[in-house]
Structure 1
Amino acid sequence: MPGTGVETSHIPAAVNKIDASKFEQQSSPSVVPTMLINVPSVSTTNESGNSFEPDLQFRGFLATPLTGTPIGLAVYQNGVRINEPFGDNVHWDFIPPDAVHSMDIVTANPVFGLNALGGAVVVQMKNGFNYQGAENDFVADSYGRVQDSFQWGKQDGNYSAYFAIDGAHEDGFRQRTSSTIRRLYGDIGYKDDRSEVHLNVTAADNFFNAPATTPVELLNQDWSAVYTTPQSDALKMGMISLQGNTALTDTVTLAGTLYYRYFSDHHVDGNDTDVQVCDNTSLLCFTDGTTPAIGSNGQQLPNLFPKDAVLGEIDRNNTRTNGWGGSVQMNDTATLNGMDNNFVFGASLDMAESNFNANTELGTVDPNTFVVTGNGQFLGFTTSDQGSIGPVKLNTTNTYLGVYGLDTLDVTKRFTLTLGGRFNFANIDLSDLLQTGSNSLTGSHQYARFNPVIGATYKITPDVLGYASYSESNRAPTPLELGCSDPNLPCIIDTFLVSDPDLNQVVSRTVELGLRGKTNLSGDQTLGWNLGFYRTDNSDDILNVVAPIGMTFGYFANVGKTRREGVEAAVNYTKGDWSLFASYAYVDATYQSYITLNPPSGDPAGDGPVNVVPGDHISRIPAHHFKFGLDYNVNDRWTVGGNVLAVGNQFFGGDESNENPKLPGYATVNLHTTYQVTKNMQFHAEIENLFNKRYYLNGTYFDNTSSVGSLVGGTNTDTVTPGKPFSVYAGLKVTF
């Protein structure tokens, strides 16, 4: 556990650690592909549809940039929690890979606070003490990507400095998916024999076109096709943090962190609409031919669109968050009754204020399903029997307090016992700046829970270690989920909030056991391996539920019990100039409660209720993951290698009763090479998807009977995220 001083051999859970050298092997401007290759149970469904903005799935739990997706992983950068306070989502694009010193993907452990249902990702950035020198890396690829990164680090006695800046632009292999990334990270440090202090700054200004899924029949005509655009995110982030630690005695260390973080997201989403021309009038109606569509002036909207125009809408929302907080941790390594012992005690406080605004403007849809606006018709409060849509102005405040302790005791030279827990308290206040009355979003919600952890490791032989643990974690509902949790007043997910009935917090209970080992074989051969099993049961899990009316309406609800369980196996082998790795992970994600849901629009199974029974698989979670990689040093200058990533099939999003055909699995072959041209200049290249295999990362359904859906034609209602075709990257890295 980073920061606690606990040795890896004493951690009673699977250990997934990635060092800086792994990130240096990747040309991607995102950290996710490196995790995808190196961690057995990591996969991505890339719901955004943009390779610059991927999501991360670990053991069936998500950490995604998409607001409105239930999150099950906690993410930390230099000890600061970077899950966004409004929706708990994670923007991986804010982390420059070249500036990462190490990354730990930790399995379920309550010490990591809220959202660590499936685990936590702990990122430690570089500083001038662990990186010296200067390096510039320029990369270009076959889809208009141009990226450049520069990093510099220096130590001068007790002082250090580190700076990294990078930028990237890509046209993308899909239409209207151009993206731009601009980031910087800096650190100033001081260290002496007893203390160390770091002041660091992270900033990003990124823009993504992220068109999500495309109907299969459009992709059959053109692999680059997109559906209902524009869909974009303009993101800004700035964070300053101060970390320090000092040795109070020979065995007691005190550490602390303070931070301030700013975040903004301007989201534009072109969509189909539930607005239509009223029956026998020249006015507009909502969801049917009789319910008036009210404009921002409080009057029913007239039909100002051309005859036979296909109507759509642009949904816009803005989120601005100011967050601040800190943590303090004491670590005592004094022996206990002659036994080696490591005791950690700490507390954290995270506070944030968010402002969320949203509106909808009506427009027309061109033959390429691009929504065009221009007549200035904005929807006001429009309410049918079960749905509501209108502008939103919401202010929210989050206060998260945590107090934790963890003790690791070497009972014998072979047997180590871990015992601890964390108390979490969450207070979430919503203040509706626009709505009044029974539909008001104003409300206050409190959640509290103590989560224990107990585990043990046992050294069976000098080279083989066994481990077992039990832990609990929880997550509080987000302000977004609380603002859209009324089944009688569903909303457009992630855009419009209408009321805030309470939701229960999600609680996870995880059992984990396994074996791992590392052996130095004869000569220059080494072998490392691990084999593990886990089961995580969630109670009061939160799901994004489809509403019975309209094509785009839904709400968040507690749906009972779910389970993620599986097996992970990995092996690493080196011999001289050769190195290889292989891993397999099985993730079995199922519902454990009876649930009745409304079918999504376009569900091939029909319009009847979706009856989920215990044992049905959770959609969008592939069961099988196989990874293999090989590297060979041809000579002192030239290295070649490659990897294979294989992912099993999965159920389409919305097919929670498992009645329809699955989204097919896939496998890709990727190659890479480096050549040291001179002492200070290195050429590197990658080929992604060598055999140009067509595959899908994610799937759901769309309504092909709607006015926009009819533009697609055909009968197939599957809509999917296409995988990246054959692509070539080439770069030149220069060190100074």
Structure 2
Amino acid sequence: MRVRLSNKTTKHHLIGLAVAAAACPTQAQEQAAPAATLATVEVVGAMPVPGTDVPKDQMPSNVQTADDAQFRRAQSLNLPDFMATQLPSVSVNEIQGNPYQLDVNYRGFTASPLLGTPQGLSVYQDGVRINEPFGDVVNWDLIPKAAIANITLLPGSNPLFGLNTLGGALSLQTKRGDTHPGTELELQAGSFGRVSTELTHGRKLGEDGHLFLALGGLNEDGWRDHSPSRVRQLFAKVGQDRGKLSWDLSFTHGDNKLVGNGLLPESMLLQNREQVYTRPDRTTNRMSMLTLNASYQVSDQQTISMTAYTRHSRYSTLNGDLNDGFDSADNGNAGVENRTKTRQQGEGLALQSTFTAGIHRFTFGASVDRARTRFTQTEAEGFLDPTRAVVPQEEAEVDALLAGKSRTASIYFHDLVTLRPDLQLTLSGRYNDTRVTTRDEGRALLGLSTTLDGEGRYRKFNPAAGLTWQATPRLTAYGGWSQGNRAPSPIELGCSDPLNPCVLPNALQSDPPLRQVVSQTFETGLRGTFDPGLRWNASVFRTVNKDDLLFVSSGLSRGYFSNFGRTLRQGVELGVGQQTKELDWSLSYSYLRARYDSPACLVSESNSSAETSPACTGEGEIAVRRGDRLPGLPAHQLKFNVDWRVTSAWSVGAQYRAYSRQTVRGNENGAHVPDGLDFNGSGHLGGYALLDLTTSWKMNRRVELFAKVANVFNRRYASAGQLGRNGFDASGAVLPPDAWRNEQFVAPGAPRAVWLGMRMQLGA
């Protein structure tokens, strides 16, 4: 028997039952009652504000959950690494070449730290949406791994989680000192010069208080040339559960330098997989966030909850790129150094009330979020040294100076209606009112020729409805429909003119207005269990995006944002798994058909079919037809995970994942055909499979040794690709512009790696 408890009220009810049973010892002795068997009950956070949980079996979608114990067994470096190996329908693109700068794809939607990637997933930490306001990007390195208690991945266009929840929402809950007591030190070292340290401490404060601290640090050289990174994370939480009032105050801080040297032409890849195209490509992220969560139990039927936060961040990038205007005849500079600085400040407040009345469990909430952004970009031409690093020869010139503001006010509701003990109806909705403003300070203060002043207001009511039916104690059927929206961010409003493409994240132009994205999802499925403890699920889903925001590329880093008629993601998810005393295992398969649902003309000069269609006559344009696949998304995924407790002290595990082939960016029409002369690269990436092995051994109650081997068979694979112009030969020497070739660039995967570590329990 296993029962998961979600709140103090449930615990108090169980304690009351135990006291009542103890009060009748005579009757218990006279007639021994049969042992009660309670079904496993797992609850999940159904709202953005923590404190309102719903039994997982009453959710009308294929919700996925995981806790810190699973995180530990998988020995994952960070959250994207864990999701890629453990969660069905999740894949990653290593476009930037840094393990903390991954595109995380779920059901064809993406959460990425890179501007220019269409964002479609919202991410919450303790009730705070951590998608950055400037471009809806997610900086995975700023999520403190050591503080994660559990994660919930909710699929679909769930309106309760607000803007950007087009394909799903990822909700993270952090640890508390009373649930994770003790002091633990973790040390790890191994391949790529990686050395990491984590220190956590949890304890109770008095009878009703709690304290939790987490420090994390990582240094590595990276497996590719000139790719060092440094990660520093801090998390602290203090709180109290005093009678009907519960509160906690947490502080999250990150100070990181990440080097990700991006895609590499296939000709250079064959020569040396570890080399880089141009450099440096460095990102510096500094962020501090203070979060207050509180709840008050007004009565047995009503609870009021609150989340408030303030978030301050400074982000900067340094990118050494090949100069498109390079002229070897004039001895021009072959490189250009692009720099950006982004300062953001945001605050928010959310209030919600949950109460029970008859068959209804109703939640009503309201929230306000606002952010202010100041963005500066400069460029300086220079030469390329022998390592292809850009050495600037000019003073940096300011190309854009932008101040942006965004404000979103929302009201939402959720009603869980128990029609019968085995039948639940879910009704929910959210109204969003978003205002985005940009002010061109470069024109006003520096006399730049840019004209970036603009303003947009986006309003939308998004409804959702679902039904769950426990047909038998071992079988549940469900179905639901939902709608979400995403408003353009300041960077997208400032980069939407095809005549003035941007060098992301470094350039902005005066642009036409963009429309908000509206997403609608339908999902239905079955889930259940078999003896002995075998669980399974099967679901189908379909999501349609209207006015989808896409980054239309006109080169390796240049392009613009544009609304695209319709895109479609639909698919199937199948899963089976079992947990026993000695063995935990799971097997999942997912099929995804992600395609364009409207014809369009996109720019891709390195595609052999460019300028060949009578429907698309612009320079470098290709014709995308209805039904063409979205790039970067494999159609088939298979994952198998197993953890075997060989003895009480020793366990071994394996994580296997396989992906089918995918289309590269720039070949959105699937019509690229290489000729080996003017056009190179197939326009596709082959499928691949990876196996990781883990083991751990508890030497005693205080010391545990662990090890991981990643990519056991040392597979050579690529997880992402793009068609573009290559300005170097296979050995990396710069070519004159008339010798540049159209080629396929790819994101090479990391080779085999081994890491060893130790965990030590300190103190009592």
TM-score, scaled relative to structure 2: 0.87
Q: Could you tell me which residue of structure 2 aligns to residue 290 of structure 1? A: none
- The answer to whether the 8 Å contact 2:574/2:590 transfers is yes
Q: Look up the match of 1:153.
A: 202
The change in CA–CA distance for 1:726 and 1:278 in structure 2 (over 3 A counts) is: closer
Q: Are residues 484 and 23 of structure 1, via their aligned partners in 2, closer, same or farther at CA, if it must alter by over 3 Å?
A: same
1:585 matched to which residue of 2?
Answer: 590
Structure 2 equivalent of residue 726 of structure 1? 752
The yes-or-no answer on 1:178 pairing with 2:228 is yes
Judged with a 3 Å threshold, the aligned counterparts in structure 2 of structure 1 residues 675 and 489 are, in CA distance, closer, same or farther, namely same
Structure 2: gaps of 5 or more residues = 1-43, 46-50, 613-620, 673-681
The answer to whether structure 1 residue 652 and structure 2 residue 664 are counterparts is yes
- CA deviation profile, 1:688-725 (whole Å, cap 9, x unmatched): 01110100011112213589863899967111111111
Q: Is 1:496 matched up with 2:521?
A: no
- Within a 5 Å distance, the mapping from 1:156-555 to structure 2 comes to 156-277=206-327, 307=331, 311-335=334-358, 339=359, 341-373=360-392, 375-379=393-397, 391-435=399-443, 439-519=450-530, 521=531, 525-547=532-554, 552-555=557-560
Q: Distance in 2 between matches of 1:241 and 1:378?
A: 38
Q: CA deviation at 1:576?
A: 3.5
Answer yes or no: is the 8 Å Cα contact 1:29–1:93 preserved in 2.
no
Which of 641, 646, 653 is the equivalent residue of 1:629?
641
User: For each residue in 1:146-199, what CA deviation from the matched residue of structure 2 results, as whole angstroms up to 9, or x when unmatched?
Assistant: 000010100131111000001000111111111000001000010023121001
Structure 1 position 639, deviation (Å):
0.5
CA–CA separation in structure 1 for the residues paired with 2:337 and 2:399: 13
Letter of the 1:119 partner, please give it: G
Q: Cα deviation per residue 1:436-482 (whole Å; 9 max; x = unaligned)?
A: 69841111110000000000001111101011000000000010000
The two structures, once aligned, show a CA RMSD in angstroms of 1.9
Given residue 573 of structure 2, which amino acid in structure 1 is its aligned partner?
Answer: E
Once the 2 structures are TM-superposed, how far is the Cα of residue 21 of structure 1 from its aligned partner?
A: 0.6
Deviations 1:504-531 (A, max 9, x none): 0000000000011134x2xxx3111111
Matched, 1:664 2:676: no
Letter aligned with residue 327 of structure 1:
A
Q: Is residue 173 of structure 2 the alignment partner of residue 124 of structure 1?
A: yes
Output the amino acid matched with 1:595: A
Please give the per-residue CA displacement for 1:49-76, whole angstroms capped at 9, x wherever unaligned.
1113222111111111112322101111
Q: 1:595 aligns with which of 576, 597, 600?
A: 600
Q: After superposition, where does 1:66-85 map in structure 2 within 5 Å?
A: 66-85=114-133
Question: Residue type of the partner of 2:510?
Answer: S
Kindly indicate whether residue 163 of structure 2 is the aligned counterpart of residue 114 of structure 1: yes
2:86/2:641 contact within 8 Å kept: no
Change (3 A) 1:566 1:348: same
| Residue 552 (structure 1) shift | 4.5
- Show the counterpart of 1:57: 105
Residues 396, 429 of structure 1: 8 Å contact kept: yes
Deviations 1:355-393 (Å, cap 9, x if unpaired)? 0000110011234322221x22445xxxxxxxxxx6111
Residue 710 (structure 1) aligns with = 735
Amino acid aligned to 2:353: M
For the 8 Å contact 1:27–1:139, the answer to whether it is kept is no
Cα distance in 2 between the residues matched to 1:603 and 1:134: 56
For 2:282 and 2:71, how far apart are their aligned partners in 1? Answer: 27
Which of the pair is proportionally richer in helix?
2
Aligned to 1:296: none
The reply on whether 1:15 has 2:63 as its aligned counterpart is yes
2: CA distance, partners of 1:669 / 1:613: 37
Q: Distance in 2 between matches of 1:440 and 1:711?
A: 35
SS at match of 2:160: helix
Q: Distance in 2 between matches of 1:265 and 1:102?
A: 28
CA distance in 1, matches of 2:288, 2:760: 29
Q: Which amino acid aligns with 1:183?
A: Q
SS at match of 1:135: strand
**Aligned residues of 1:599 and 1:607 also touching (Cα < 8 A):** no
Specify the code of the residue in structure 1 equivalent to 2:351: V
User: Deviation of residue 11 (structure 1)?
Assistant: 0.5
1:675 lines up with 2:682 in the alignment:
no
How far did residue 631 of structure 1 move?
1.7
Residue 38 of structure 1 deviates from its aligned partner by: 2.1
Q: What residue is the counterpart of 1:304 in the other structure?
A: none
The two structures have a TM-score, normalised by structure 1, of 0.91
Distance 1:174 1:277 in 2: 30
SS at 2:477 equivalent: strand
The corresponding residue for 2:88 is 40
Which sits farther off after the overlay, 227-236 or 93-102?
93-102
- Do the aligned partners of 2:323 and 2:333 also contact (CA within 8 Å) in 1? no
Matched-pair contact (CA < 8 Å) for 1:52–1:179: no
Identity over aligned residues, as a percent? 35
Write out per-residue CA displacement over residues 67-117 of structure 1, whole angstroms, 9 at most, x where no aligned residue: 232210111100011000101000111112221011001112100000000
Partner of 2:25: none
- Map Cα deviations across residues 626-657 of structure 1 (whole Å, 9 max, x no partner): 10012211111110111211111110111110
Which of 723, 735, 739 is the aligned partner of 1:701?
723
Equivalent residue in structure 2 for 1:89, among 110, 119, 137: 137
Deviations 1:476-513 (CA, angstroms, capped at 9, x unpaired): 00100000112222222321101132100000000000
Unaligned runs of 5+ in 1: 283-306, 380-389
Residues 396 and 103 of structure 1, relative CA distance in 2, 3 Å threshold: same
Contact 1:456 1:469 (C-alpha < 8 Å) held by counterparts: yes
**Corresponding position of 1:569:** 574
1:639 partnered with 2:675: no
> CA, structure 1 residues 421+667, in 2 after alignment: closer, same or farther (shift >3 Å)?
same
1:572-627 deviation line (CA, Å, top 9, x unaligned): 11343122111111111100001011214x33445543101110001111111110
For residues 231 and 450 of structure 1, the distance between their equivalents in structure 2, rounded to whole angstroms, comes to 41
What corresponds to 1:385 in structure 2? Answer: none
For residue 501 of structure 1, give the secondary structure of its aligned residue in structure 2: coil
